[in-house]
Homo-oligomer: A and B are copies of this chain.
Amino acid sequence: MKPLSDGERAEILPALDGWTLVEDRDALHKRFVFDDFNAAFGWMARVALVAEQMNHHPEWFNVYNKVDVTLSTHDANGLTRRDVELAQRMDQFAAGIAKAR
């Protein structure tokens, strides 16, 4: 996987919903907030199946109804299209069940 080019970054990253660049590394972060643990872990399970299929895994921290996600591509030492794709799948699965942060 190649890192995103400057052109791709300028076009793609601002279009992502609620994802922000991490300060000290080339990675994306988003906090997802759900109604409860059931909803949060149910979402994580859906994401896990897709992540495994993509062979691209998130860094994520869960406590009760919150999941803090960081995405980056270790092999590319920064952001790639895989991160963008996984971010979009996470948003898709969270649609209608995640609350505003």
Q: Is the CB of A52 within 8 A of B38?
A: yes
Chain B: CB-nearest residue to A66: B59
In angstroms, how far is the closest chain B Cβ from the Cβ of A69? 11
Q: Is the CB of A59 within 8 A of B63?
A: yes
* Chain B residues, CB < 8 A from A45: 41, 45
Chain B: CB-nearest residue to A37: B57
CA distance A58 to B64 in the complex (A): 7
Q: Is the CB of A37 within 8 A of B52?
A: yes
**Binary interface encoding of chain A residues 42-85 relative to chain B, with 1 for a CB under 8 A from any of its CBs, else 0:** 00110010011000011111111000000000000000000000
* Chain B residues, CB < 8 A from A59: 61-63
